[in-house]
Structure formats: C-alpha cells, structure tokens
Structure 1
C-alpha cells in the first residue's frame, strides 16, 4: 500500500483531481489517499493557504499529489505555496517531460524533451529587498551553490541513463553571469565526464530558446537553474500543445510531489470543461516513483489512446467532441488495458 497526501487545489483542481484519482485507482495500484488542503480554499477555511494539518500529512506520507493552487496576493506570508513546499521538503529536481501527441496538431510531431530544473535555488530563493527608503531601486539575489548544482546535474544524467536517453544539454548564461552561471556550467562539465555513455552539450540560454523553436529534435534531457528551467518548460509545453498536456514532478531525496503545472483557471471551474490530461500524466509519474511501472504504463497508454483518438476529449482538444472533464476521465478508464 502506498500512502499519498491528496491536495485537490483551487478552481478546476477538484474536478481534474477527481478524474485523476479515478484513473489511478482503476489502473490497479494500491494507494491510500489522505486528503489535505492548500491554496485559496484553505486560506478561506483555515486562515492560511498551507495549514499545519497539510504539512503534517506530507511529513508522514512523503508523497503528495496536487492540483493547481491559487497563490494569495498579500498578507499570507507565502510568495508561492509551490515554492514553499519545494523549499521545505528540499524537492530540488523539477521534472517536466514534453512529448508530441499524435492527436494534437502542432508545428512539430516529433518533440520528446525532458526539462530538469533546479528547484530550490537561483533567483527563486526569494532574497529580494529595496535599496532605498523610497523603494525605487530593488535587488534580487541569485543563489547557486556547488552542492545544489551537483545534485541537480547528477540527477539529470542519472535520469537520462535510467530512461534510455542519449543526451544531456546544460543551458546557462555563463558568458555574462560568470560566477553563478559559471559555477553551474563548471559543475556540469565535471559531472558529464562521469557519464561517458551520455552525450553532453552546452548552450547559452537565449540561443537554446531559438534552437528549441527552430529544431526541437536536437534536445533530449535539458538541465538548468531555476528561472531558466521555468521558462524553458513552458516553451516546450507550447511545442506540444500547451500546459494542459504537461505533467510535473518535484523530487527530493526523501519526498516527492506530483502535479499539473498549469493554473487553477477559476473562469471555467465547475463547468466540466477542464482538461485532466496533465494531472493524470503526473499521476503516472507518481506510479513510476512508487515502482508501479505496469500501472503507470497502463495509464499512459490509456491517456494517449483517448487524446490521439480525439473523440472523448475536452473542448480545448476538440471543440466538436461534446465531452467534458468527467467524460474524458471515464473514457481513459475504459481505455485501460
């Protein structure tokens, strides 16, 4: 039995999470769900967007499955609930695979890129302040450590090897940010030498964005610091059809969180319109994390079958299908082999 903290989230979160839980349960994995709360709904109910009870559940299960959250503006004490969870539990590796779908028409049909993003340092360390009493000059400090760089880059190479990937590209800005990005690049070169079976490449981040748009096939596993990874993971999502199709995993040494990476979309909440694909695929990543590879493969094959067929998908994938969130979830359950 696997124990999971279930955070349904805000907006469309509850509806897509219900479908994801339904699919995962139907796939045959034995999971005990422990529901907890976070986000705007938690703030309105408990006076905090991240209640102690939620943290206690995550402390116990060490695995969370999360829907999209609305970050409270002002007064909550959190710049981002997601960042707070990543930092508290040292979820240092953010992993976002982007792969083309036969049933989704985009510019390319052969994209297969995994972004591995450092998740706890960089500019998202939250070290910001004003330099003048008038608050007309602000400063943000980027933190890059050798330890943090080593663990994320080594994770990327191990991921490549374990998943039969052939190449790791480090994206950086060491030509300008010679200390922070220079350290990250130096560490990447050192670690690459330990993996002679994996091809290593390095690209300056702005050039990498151009190359990714012009010829995404040249990329396989990409590793970079926090902000660059945040940007590139959305870029790769755009190459395959959008954030509604992209799962995310946040991995630490003894804890993990799996999630949809899109927003809470309050404008369509409760309307049976939201695409559950991203969070169901995140559920498949969670099953792989548990070692439930057979169940994970069943989920992935079922989702691919339904999305590629296009008959029982949400309106963002086929405006003529007539299906909604629940109907798409039912179709995925029926497609499980």
Structure 2
C-alpha cells in the first residue's frame, strides 16, 4: 500500500472550487487502483487569511509543509490584497525555501479542443527556472515620494542555478524521447545575465550530443509560439521569460483554465508543489463555472512525480477522453457545463477504465 500525505492549500477564489475537483479525482484514482491512498491536510492560507491575520500563512508554515509528500495549491489572489503581497507571502517563499527550481509546464493542444491557431500540432514542455533570475526578490526603493525616487530590481543568475535547470531540461528530453531543447534569452540586450545564460547553455548542451540544442531571443520565440508552435519540443527559460511564454502557451492550447504546472524539487529533498496556471479569477468565483482541467492535470503531474506512473497514465487518458468527446465543456471553452460536471465526467472515465 502506497499512502501519501498531501498538504492542500486551496487558496482564493476559484482555487477553492477547482482543488475540490482535483481531490475528488485523486480519490477516484485511488479507489480504482488498489494499493494507493491519500491523506489530505487542508490549510486555510491565502488572501482571506491575510485580511484576517495580517499574514498569508502561519509563521511556521514552511516548517509545517516540509514533511509532506507533496503540496497541492489552488490559486492565490484576492481584491484588496496587492499581488506582490500575496505572491511574496506564500507562493514564492515555498518555491525558494524548498528549492523547487523547476517549474514544469506542458503545453499541448488535445484532440477535440479548438485553439486560436491554424496549427493543431502543439506539444511542448516548458522548463522554467523557478527560484532566482528576475524573481529573486533582490532590490529596493530609495527617496520615496521625492523627485529622486528610484527602484532597483536586480535579477540574479548563478551558474549553479542555470546549470541545474538546463540539465533537467536535457534529461527530461532524453528520458521522454524528445529530440530538441530550445533555450530562450535576450542576450542582445541583457549583455551580462543573458550572455552568461547562453554560455552555460552551450557548455551543458555539449554533454548531451544525442539531443539537438538551439536558442532564440524571447521576442522571436514569442512570435514563433504563434506562427510555428510545432518547432518547439522542450523549452528552457529564465523565471520571467518562462512565466510569460507559458501563459501565451496556455492560450494556444485552448485557454488558461486547461494549463497545469509542477514546481519541482527534482532531488526530492523537499516536497514539490502542484498548481494550475490560472489565477484566482475573482470575477467568476462562486459561480461554479471555473475550468477544473488545469487543477486535475496538475494532480496527474503529482502522481507522476510520486512514481505512480500507471495511475497517472489512467488519469491523463481520462482527461484526454473527456476533452476529445466535446460534450462536457465549461464556458471558457464554449460550453455550459459546471466545474463539478467536468470533474465528474473525468471521474466517470476513470471508473470505466478500471
């Protein structure tokens, strides 16, 4: 019997709704596959907690989370709480403290889903550096409220940080039968950090002669995501560029409600965290129409990370079958189904498969 202790942080807005569907789906997978079980521990942390307590999570929150097998997060963000408060009070400390230096985001256009492009051949994996770069949090402000006011936001690029995320990208390509890794930079303008990135990428790529390596400037990459998405296989990028390009990728795959992500500590020294890419969407929160596929797909990535490959495969097929069927769709995909109806359709496919 494999039993996993999962920390659950539903967060804010639609995060609460989609996470419930993800949990119910994990329970369905466990029921369908003997020898697998979960214990879920919920934490009320997020923006509502901040408005009540003045903090996004308990002061010993990171210590509490450390011993879990994984963390399942809904979304963070709520009107009245500035985004930099919510981000730096919960999400980024977890990523940095637990060395979740890989943000893994698959971008795939499933059969049955209509994307905005003529091309239907979209199937790439984005590996985003997740703990330093432009989101390192180094900087400050001076002379506030004066004509001389200034702000410094310093990007931090270390050889160790770049090399480990690049090696993950090449190892992922090799393990999963992918042929090419594309590095995204802006080294023509960022003549220190991005040139350094290019040099490290060139050095790392020499250790993987079986994998093609190429690189693009981020502006060219953004254009090619739209005009030639089929040219991309595995993409590796800095924190900022990876963040922006994967939101573009989510739109290409049919909408941000479909997009999953995994914040990975590949060495498994710390728990990894799994979350849909979408935010808390307060405009539709409580209406029961949020798309749960991104959250459920994130749960599927959690199963893969935990080593439950067979169960992960069953869940992935269930997601693909529901999307291919075209009958159960939330409004963001042009349908009229509720959040729960989509989740239940996926669970029914799991039941049939068992």
TM-score bracket for the superposition, by shorter chain length: over 0.9
Which deviations, in whole Å up to 9, do the C-alpha atoms of 1:18-76 show, x marking residues without a partner?
11111111112422111113211222344321124643331111510110111632895
Select 2:218's aligned residue among 205, 210, 224.
205
Name stretches of at least 5 consecutive residues in structure 1 with no aligned partner: none
CA contact (8 A) 1:273 1:325 kept: yes
How many residues align? The count is: 335
Q: Pick which of 31-40 and 227-236 moved more.
A: 31-40
> Which residue number in structure 2 is paired with residue 249 of structure 1?
262
Q: For 2:173 and 2:83, how far apart are their aligned partners in 1?
A: 40
Equivalent residue, structure 1, for 2:232: 219
- 1:327 corresponds in structure 2 to 341
TM-score, L = length of structure 1: 0.94
Structure 2 portions without partners, runs of 5+: 31-35
Q: Contact 1:171 / 1:223 at 8 angstroms: preserved in 2?
A: yes
1:90-129 aligned within 5 A: 90-106=99-115, 107=117, 108-129=119-140
- Find the counterpart in structure 2 of residue 4 from structure 1: 6
- d(CA) in 1 for partners of 2:219 and 2:87? 30
C-alpha distance 294-62 of structure 1, shift in aligned 2 (>3 A)? closer
Cα–Cα, structure 1 residues 169 and 80, in superposed 2: closer, same or farther, change >3 Å? farther
* Residue 139 of structure 1: how far off its partner (Å): 2.1
Query: What's the CA shift for 1:249?
Result: 0.4
The 3 A distance-change label for structure 1 pair 75 and 312 is closer
> Which residue of structure 2 aligns with residue 268 of structure 1?
284
CA 1:74–1:280: 2 relative to 1, 3 Å: closer
Question: CA 1:74–1:313 in structure 2 vs 1: closer, same or farther (change >3 Å)?
Answer: closer
Return the offset for 1:132. Answer: 4.1
Among candidates 301, 307, 323, match of residue 291 of structure 1: 307
Q: 1:214 to 1:77 in 2, by over 3 A?
A: closer
Correspondence for 2:25: 23
RMSD, aligned α-carbons: 1.8
Contact 2:129–2:165 (8 Å) recurs in 1: yes
Correspondence for 2:74 among 67, 72, 75: 67
- Per the TM alignment, residue 264 of structure 1 is displaced from its structure 2 partner at its CA by 0.5
